[in-house]
Amino acid sequence: MITMNGKKILVVEDEKKIAEIVKAYLEKEDFRVTHAETGEKALSLLKEGFALIILDLMLPDMAGEDICQAIRKDFDVPIIMLTAKSDEDDRIKGLGIGADDYVVKPFSPRELVARVKALLRRAKGPKDVLSFNGGDLVLDSTRFEARKKDAPVVLTPTEFKLLQCLAEHPGQVFTRLQLVNVILGYDFEGYDRTIDAHVKNIRHKIEDNQRNPAYLKTVYGVGYKFTGLPDED
Ligand code: CA
């Protein structure tokens, strides 16, 4: 059995009953739980350092999406979003704005705990060297270097940052605005066409077939995602 050794979890949820149940289930599994009823309180607590955040999408003071983005600006912590909205668009959006997983209400607390554990197992932190598709593409973040079929690929720092961000989260959809934030460190509307230009350049350098990219896929109406298959260690 995997033990969670008192890892700290922040539960952001305004519905007391739900928060209490989630807290009880998590504490039974040895987690230490802090509860915040508002987004503002949640943000003020972040500095305490949490292993994972469970975030309700519908809060009285702030939209869950905004909290999620605010957390992502400064903290690399896994986020599970609790949502009552269940249609596909909202799910994609939920993941696109930086949540790592989502659970639709009403949910089984047991399932939520299982997701928490799964996510914590996965979240071991990014590796320095990422390798994909049987070594076809390699990203070395210690040297800001990429290699395609063992040949060096010259990427600009911006292109490298973009590719690295996407490659560290295979399958996760990023909006153009999020990617702008990766490059500039802040949101800047109107910059998103530049993202398209960067992606086009990166594709030119790393894709065998730019019309059918193996790595950087467009998610229409949303943004981009990385679809390379990570190699085992
Ligand atoms: Ca709520």
Q: What confidence tens digit (pLDDT) does each residue in 214-230 have?
A: 999 999 988 999 999 98
**Cis-peptide, bond into residue 106, ω within 30° of zero:** yes
Q: Ligand 1 centre from 4 Cα, in Å?
A: 27
Q: Ligand 1 centre from 95 Cα, in Å?
A: 18
> DSSP string of 135-185?
TTEEEETTTTEEEETTEEE---HHHHHHHHHHHTSTT--EEHHHHHHHHHS
pLDDT tens readout for residues 140-197: 987 888 999 999 999 998 899 999 999 988 888 998 888 988 887 666 666 778 899 9
Residue 207 has pLDDT above 60, yes or no: yes
pLDDT at 89: 64
Q: Ligand 1 centre from 56 Cα, in Å?
A: 6
Q: Ligand 1 centre from 100 Cα, in Å?
A: 19
Residue 81 has pLDDT above 70, yes or no: yes
Q: Residue ranges per domain, the chain?
A: 8-123, 129-226
Q: Ligand 1 centre from 119 Cα, in Å?
A: 22
pLDDT tens readout for residues 8-48: 999 999 999 999 999 999 999 999 999 999 999 999 999 89
pLDDT at 194: 86
CATH number of this structure's domain 8-123, picked from the four choices 3.40.50.2000, 3.40.50.2300, 3.30.420.60, 3.30.70.380: 3.40.50.2300
Structure tokens at 133: 């598709």
Q: Ligand 1 centre from 18 Cα, in Å?
A: 9
What's the pTM? 0.54
pLDDT at 213: 96
Q: Ligand 1 centre from 42 Cα, in Å?
A: 14
- What CATH topology corresponds to 129-226? Arc Repressor Mutant, subunit A (1.10.10)
Q: Ligand 1 centre from 58 Cα, in Å?
A: 4
Write the burial class of residue 178 (CB in 10 Å: 0-12 exposed, 13-18 middle, 19+ buried). Answer: buried
Q: Ligand 1 centre from 129 Cα, in Å?
A: 40
Q: Quick one: pLDDT band at residue 101, thresholds 50, 70, 90?
A: confident
- Average pLDDT of the residues of the chain: 87
Q: Ligand 1 centre from 163 Cα, in Å?
A: 35
Q: Ligand 1 centre from 40 Cα, in Å?
A: 14
pLDDT at 170: 87
Q: Checking DSSP bridges between strand 129-132 and strand 137-140, what pairing results, if any?
A: antiparallel
Q: Ligand 1 centre from 67 Cα, in Å?
A: 13
Between CA 2 and CA 87 the distance in angstroms is: 33
Residue 1 has pLDDT above 60, yes or no: no
Q: Ligand 1 centre from 54 Cα, in Å?
A: 12
For residues 107-114, average pLDDT: 92
Q: Ligand 1 centre from 37 Cα, in Å?
A: 9
